[in-house]
Structure 1
Amino acid sequence: MTASLRPLTPEELAAWLATSTLDYTDDLEVAGLSRAAAERKAGESTAREFPGGLPAPGQHVYAVTVSGEHVGVLWLSAGPADDPTNWWILDILIFEAFRGRGHGRRAMLLAETEAARLGAAKITLNVFARNAAARALYASLAYEPTKIYLEKTLPLPRAVS
């Protein structure tokens, strides 16, 4: 199987961007934000990274193809001004019909190769704690945790005696 990356077509980009924004909103809500706050945060991120629906400079969105078939999407982001060689994987999506066939691993390896080609010396990503399959894949590819956030939902205030 030959895996590769290609730029998304305008139609593919529009469809992915809508789905990605909704998925991010859902993830933020599950992680504890109110629906309104999650929608606001996801909308602000989309507007900043894709003004007018097009990738801002430094944003690279690709179709992941395997043997010529479009199996997913990869979003790479150039490193910030204070750390330009630390690139980010902001989204990696293997379409449901293609999961469980090693395409996620292929996509990660393509991401690493592409980021290095574009000037990255390091690649970083975030993963929600509940995504055990993704965490296992990243660990198998030698990604190491650098930050761990812990939180607890508190009950409503009550009188303490």
Structure 2
Amino acid sequence: MFDIRIICDEVDTPEITKTLAETFILRAIRQLPTRNSHKIRLYVAADQRPQPLTPHNAYALAPSIVSEIGWTANAAASRQFGQQMGREFWLRKAAVLDRIALVDGDQGIQSDAAEVAADAARRLIDLDRATGYDSDPRSYVRNAYADWRRHQ
């Protein structure tokens, strides 16, 4: 985490805040007048936004697609009626669907795999209450999966 201090005109504050939010993960913003009260001081606590991993790096330690399909099917079939599936299930499901969509894209196969993978990614994003991945939900899955595999 790091801190940013900006001195600007009050009318520029919304645009500056918007631009910062597109570049960083904002934790807190404090707004105070300057000593002469003609400008505004913004104090922003922020984190660097993680760069999306390449699919190859994200899934380097992943089991085969067939194995992951088997795992997700088995996990879904073994749950009791009414039991909610946990984060690991949704993460692995979203990751395997992303991998299938990548294969389809690489091979020029026309399918709805990318749309299905994005829907699964949004489900994981909602579960994690993550923000900032509206434009590319599948990159969230790649980062989350790589992080999860590193800690296995």
TM normalised by structure 2 equals: 0.26
Larger of the two Rg values belongs to structure: 2
Q: Which structure has the highest helix share of the two?
A: 2
Q: TM-score, normalised by structure 1?
A: 0.25
